[in-house]
A and B are shown apart, each in its own frame.
Chain A
Amino acid sequence: MHKTNVVMQWRKTRKGYYITGSKCKECLELFFPSRLNCPKCRSNELEDYKFNGTGEVYSYSTIFFPLAELEKNVPYTIAMIKLDEGPKMTAQLVEYDNLKEGMKVESCVRKVYTDGEGGIIHYGIKFRPVK
Chain B
Amino acid sequence: MNIIGVGSTKFSEHWDRGIKELIDEAVKNALKSSSLDIKDIDSLYVANCFGNTINGQGNINALCSDMFGINNSTAINGGDSSGSQAIIQAANSIAARNSKIALVIGVEKMSDLGVNEASSVISQVTDYDYEASQGATLASLYAMITSQHMKEHKTTLGQLGMVSVKNHANAANNDMAQFKFAIAPEDIAKSQMVATPLRVLHSAATGDGCCAVVMANDEIAKKHKEKIKLIGHGTGSDFLAVHEREDITTFNALKYASKVAFEKAKIKPHNISFAELHDVFSISELMSIEDVGFVKKGEAARFVEQGKANIDGEISINPSGGLKGCGHPFAATGVRQAIEVFYQLNNNAGKRQVKNAKYGLTSTLSGTGSTAVVAIFSK
B195→A88 contact, CB < 8 A: no
Bound complex: CA of A94 vs CA of B145, how far in Å? Answer: 21
Is B143 on the interface with A (CB-CB < 8 A)?
yes
B195→A122 contact, CB < 8 A: no
**Contact pattern, B 232-248, Cβ under 8 Å of A = 1, otherwise 0:** 00000001011110001
**Contact pattern, A 1-29, Cβ under 8 Å of B = 1, otherwise 0:** 11010000000100010000000000000
Is A108 on the interface with B (CB-CB < 8 A)?
no
Contacts of A63 in B (CB 8 A): 135, 137, 139-140, 194-195
B134→A90 contact, CB < 8 A: yes
Is B35 on the interface with A (CB-CB < 8 A)?
no
**Known: A67-B137, A113-B135. Contact between A88 and B243, CB under 8 A?**
yes
Bound complex: CA of A67 vs CA of B147, how far in Å? Answer: 21
Is B123 on the interface with A (CB-CB < 8 A)?
yes
Is A49 on the interface with B (CB-CB < 8 A)?
no
B143→A61 contact, CB < 8 A: yes
B120→A67 contact, CB < 8 A: yes
Q: Which of A39, A101, A124 contacts B133 (CB 8 A)?
A: A124
| Contact-residue bracket for chain B | 35 or more
Residue of chain B at shortest CB distance from A112: B135
Bound complex: CA of A124 vs CA of B145, how far in Å? Answer: 23
Closest approach, in angstroms, between the C-beta of B367 and any C-beta of chain A? 13
A67→B135 contact, CB < 8 A: yes
**Contact pattern, B 216-260, Cβ under 8 Å of A = 1, otherwise 0:** 000000000000000000000001011110001000000000000
B140→A2 contact, CB < 8 A: no
Contacts of B115 in A (CB 8 A): 65
Residue of chain A at shortest CB distance from B118: A68
A89→B243 contact, CB < 8 A: yes
A65→B194 contact, CB < 8 A: yes
Stretch binding the partner chain, chosen from B124-132, B265-273, B288-296, B337-345:
B124-132
**Known: A33-B130, A61-B195. Contact between A90 and B120, CB under 8 A?**
no
Q: Which of B123, B136, B194, B248 contacts A64 (CB 8 A)?
A: B194
A90→B128 contact, CB < 8 A: no
Is A80 on the interface with B (CB-CB < 8 A)?
yes
Closest approach, in angstroms, between the C-beta of B111 and any C-beta of chain A? 15
**Contact pattern, B 100-142, Cβ under 8 Å of A = 1, otherwise 0:** 0000000000000011110110011001111111111101110
A66→B137 contact, CB < 8 A: yes
A66→B135 contact, CB < 8 A: yes
Contacts of B243 in A (CB 8 A): 58, 80, 87-90
Is B65 on the interface with A (CB-CB < 8 A)?
no
Closest approach, in angstroms, between the C-beta of A121 and any C-beta of chain B? 13
Contacts of B198 in A (CB 8 A): 61
Bound complex: CA of A87 vs CA of B245, how far in Å? Answer: 9
B144→A33 contact, CB < 8 A: no
Contacts of A71 in B (CB 8 A): 116
B116→A61 contact, CB < 8 A: no
Bound complex: CA of A125 vs CA of B147, how far in Å? Answer: 23
A78→B134 contact, CB < 8 A: yes
Contacts of A73 in B (CB 8 A): 135
Bound complex: CA of A12 vs CA of B134, how far in Å? Answer: 12
Closest approach, in angstroms, between the C-beta of A92 and any C-beta of chain B? 5
Contacts of A66 in B (CB 8 A): 116, 119, 135, 137
Considering the complex, which residues of chain B in the window 282-339 have a beta carbon less than 8 Å from any beta carbon of chain A? none
Q: List 13 A-B contacts (CB under 8 A).
A: A12-B129, A31-B244, A59-B145, A59-B248, A61-B144, A65-B116, A65-B192, A67-B119, A67-B120, A68-B119, A90-B134, A101-B151, A125-B134
State the B residues within 8 Å of A (CB).
114-117, 119-120, 123-124, 127-137, 139-141, 143-145, 147-148, 151, 192-198, 239, 241-244, 248
Instruction: State the 6 A-B residue pairs at the shortest beta-carbon distance, nearest first.
Output: A61-B143, A88-B243, A59-B144, A68-B116, A61-B140, A68-B120
Given contacts A12-B133, A67-B120, 17 further A-B contacts (CB under 8 A): A1-B120, A1-B132, A4-B133, A32-B130, A33-B241, A58-B243, A59-B145, A63-B135, A64-B193, A64-B195, A65-B119, A67-B119, A69-B120, A70-B135, A80-B242, A88-B244, A101-B147
